[in-house]
A and B are shown apart, each in its own frame.
Chain A
């Protein structure tokens, strides 16, 4: 099989996802490397060839989560105002990719729930603990996180990926 070089995409925190499509059925491997500087092309090619020599098809937990989000974005829904906006989709994907990069497989598997206004709720539940990250439909609407454990509950705004990570670690301790 011929090696197909992936797109190399820099993200805000300096993480570089590699995407590979191989075979007849699309497959994807995402590799995250912390970088201080841009990744030299030669290094990228070396890494990619190394990846290509390993498995040709993997379905990791991150892929499954993103696939689920993509499916919601593409679903044919009955009520137009429920349709996930591009802004909400990108917001949700950003939080998932960036926080997963910090937590690895400790990142808990979320549910995706429509807020009925074009936004999406990323929801995590572990026993009595619940976290809902509200990815709103439009720029200018406040993104916020709600957490709940019995009668203990609160809302947090200005959600950074570090802050989300801390809340997910709290969730994992239930």
Chain B
């Protein structure tokens, strides 16, 4: 998701583990198994034009409306505690994968590399995020903003 005119806010306290954040399903193919599950591709960190600070998430289910101008296919919910657990599952240092807000309601999943920087880790983290931390929160059929 392109960030539009946002300035960073000062570092804040870590989010409680039971926090839920939300990601826009901008492509229908990210919703798999009859749209009951999320594919790993939803958690690729795309090139710096879109994902310079990390993988975009929103503070509320419809926060994406602050960042996007075109319809989406649904909303994915992400459990912050489970995102942190993924660092352990991927044998990374504690805290290396986390969620932080840079300009509320805009935030990022941080610590995921670009695929062209570390393919193996980027793919593994995408798999773990999709299978362990993400759920389909809401479907939009037809797509809408």
Contact surface of A with B, Cβ cutoff 8 Å: 72, 77-79, 81-82, 111-117, 121, 123, 130, 132, 134, 141-142, 144, 146, 148, 153-155
Stretch of B11-19, B100-108, B119-127 with 4 or more beta carbons under 8 angstroms from chain A? B119-127
A-contacting residues, B15-47, CB 8 Å: 26-27, 29-30, 32, 39-41, 44, 46-47
State whether A116 touches B120 (Cβ < 8 A).
Answer: no
State whether A114 touches B27 (Cβ < 8 A).
Answer: yes
From known contacts A114-B41, A116-B41, A153-B123, infer whether A142 and B116 are also in contact, taking CB-CB under 8 Å: yes
- CB < 8 Å: which of A78, A79, A117, A123 contacts B39? A123
CB-defined contacts of B119 to chain A, threshold 8 Å: 142, 144, 146, 155
Main secondary structure of the interface of A (DSSP, over half): strand
From known contacts A134-B115, A155-B119, infer whether A115 and B143 are also in contact, taking CB-CB under 8 Å: no
B69 CB, min distance to chain A CBs, angstroms: 10
B127's nearest neighbour on chain A, judged by CB, is: A148
Q: Give Cα A72 to B29, complex, Å.
A: 9
Q: Give Cα A155 to B27, complex, Å.
A: 24
State whether A115 touches B44 (Cβ < 8 A).
Answer: yes
